[in-house]
A = this chain, B = another copy of it.
Amino acid sequence: MNNNVFLKTKKEAPKDETAINAKLLIKGGFIEKLASGIYLFLPLGWRVHQKIERIIREEMNRLGAREIFLSALQPVSLWKKERIDSMKDILYRLYDSSKREFLLGPTHEEIISMVGKVFIKSFRDLPFSLYQIQTKFRDEPRAKSGLLRTREFIMKDLYSFHSDKDDMEKFYQKVKNSYLRIFKRCGLKVLVCEASGGAFSKEYSHEFMVRTEAGEDKVIFCKNCNFAQNFEISSLKENQVCPKCKKEKLKMVKTIEVGNIFKLGTKFSEMFDIKFIDRDQKEKFVWMACYGIGVGRLMGAVVEVSCDKQGIIWPKEIAPFLVHLITLKSGERKIDKRIEEFSKKSYQTFLKEKIEVLLDQRDISPGEKFFDYELIGCPFRIVISKKTVQKNKVEIRKRKEKEPKLVSLSEAIRILKS
């Protein structure tokens, strides 16, 4: 084994990719493009994806939401109620061998409504919330921003069911806080932005926006009080005084939407006739809300805002590995044996300490290995070489700092765990 993760970097980014996230992720061997808007996740990229998924799962479970898994194939008949028209431009539709028409789910409001309809009978069945981390399909016309806008992607979608508006509002606030924790753990600063209820509701929905020039969305934003409104729905203009704090002029900034939350109200329960018998024995419509995070898009957004000319700078909790361990040969047989032994011992020690290590023992030049380390962007680099083994030490460096330090293995572990 010369590396432990299918380490496959490229010298050049593909010419047809213009987005920074696509260039760096493909060069670094995280993803590979199959067709416009369709990417394959290689082991490095999938590790990052799974770490984001894990954070999301932890936060969803903390809300008391339960995980489910709905199908991608959805009968078109269910969609005839409404969204078949409003979403028609991005729907993939197909027929099975019995000539029944299906579509590939761009989201799952219709299907979860069916689940609600089957299982909700009384107020005792409410409230509850269900989420999935599952593949969505959207035939995007502008799929040219790497992971920011793809035709097939994994989304976390959460749906909540309530007996009245008040209960829905309370849970909506909880989810908003949960989303802020998720993005923070992923190393992202987000604006909470008022947006259109869209196909769903007349009230504001909320979008979680990451500021970057790579963004396709525009937001009117107050840097004093963090008031933010999606430009598409805003009646406000740039340089106007903030209507909330009245202290600062509004700016227009470009953003990437990494999450959104919608109050569905009784829209879907009226459409699908989802009712329950309340404590007062009256039949009422169920209140619903839905909440989405595009996992791949979140990953792409992190790369856009956390990189330098050399490559990616992964936030600690979603880095593919905490440490990139580079072993350099000296050319002197006896010393190389010591380097090998010391590397093996260090690697085993890290594993025992539950520190995740990318082990790079490939037979290439030190320069190439250092180049790949910067490109891949793990939080720490550790080098074991002639210089370090002669002092019985390792060289440790943070991705964001330029000065390496010579430290003992136990000191390195202390630094990595702090």
Which residues of A line the B interface, CB within 8 A?
1-2, 5-6, 8, 32, 34-35, 38-43, 46-47, 49-50, 64, 66-75, 89, 92-94, 96-97, 100, 102, 104, 111, 114-115, 118-119, 124, 128, 130, 135, 137, 139, 141, 151-152, 154, 363
Question: Is B75 in contact with A49, judged by CB distance below 8 angstroms?
Answer: no
Q: Which of B40, B42, B64, B104 contacts A111 (CB 8 A)?
A: B40
Question: Is B124 in contact with A363, judged by CB distance below 8 angstroms?
Answer: yes
Known A6-B128, A6-B130, A363-B124; judge A139-B38 contact (CB<8 A). no
Q: Which residues of B contact A102 (CB under 8 A)?
A: 35
**CB pairs A–B below 8 angstroms (6 shown):** A34-B73, A34-B74, A35-B75, A41-B69, A73-B137, A96-B151
The smallest beta-carbon distance between A82 and chain B, in angstroms, is: 19
Q: Which of B35, B93, B128 contacts A94 (CB 8 A)?
A: B93
Q: Which residues of B contact A46 (CB under 8 A)?
A: 67-69
Known A6-B128, A151-B73, A363-B124; judge A68-B41 contact (CB<8 A). yes
Given contacts A69-B154, A73-B151, 7 further A-B pairs with CB under 8 A are A34-B71, A38-B71, A40-B71, A72-B135, A72-B152, A92-B96, A94-B94
A50 to B46 CA separation, bound complex (whole angstroms): 17
Question: Is A115 in contact with B32, judged by CB distance below 8 angstroms?
Answer: yes
A74 to B74 CA separation, bound complex (whole angstroms): 19
Question: Nearest CB to that of A134 among chain B residues?
Answer: B135
Question: Nearest CB to that of A39 among chain B residues?
Answer: B71
Assembly stoichiometry (copies): 2
The smallest beta-carbon distance between A89 and chain B, in angstroms, is: 7
Complex A-B, nearest 7 residue pairs according to Cβ-Cβ distance, in ascending order: A43-B66, A41-B69, A94-B94, A38-B71, A8-B119, A6-B66, A40-B70
Q: Which residues of B contact A40 (CB under 8 A)?
A: 68-71, 111, 115
Q: Which residues of B contact A38 (CB under 8 A)?
A: 71, 73
A46 to B152 CA separation, bound complex (whole angstroms): 22
Q: Which residues of B contact A141 (CB under 8 A)?
A: 97
A66 to B46 CA separation, bound complex (whole angstroms): 10
A111 to B39 CA separation, bound complex (whole angstroms): 11
Q: Which residues of B contact A114 (CB under 8 A)?
A: 34
Question: Is B92 in contact with A69, judged by CB distance below 8 angstroms?
Answer: no
A128 to B96 CA separation, bound complex (whole angstroms): 37
The smallest beta-carbon distance between A97 and chain B, in angstroms, is: 5
Q: Which residues of B contact A93 (CB under 8 A)?
A: 94
Question: Nearest CB to that of A154 among chain B residues?
Answer: B69
Question: Is A139 in contact with B71, judged by CB distance below 8 angstroms?
Answer: no
Which interface residue of A68, A74, A104 has the most chain B CB atoms within 10 A? Answer: A68
A6 to B68 CA separation, bound complex (whole angstroms): 10
A94 to B1 CA separation, bound complex (whole angstroms): 42
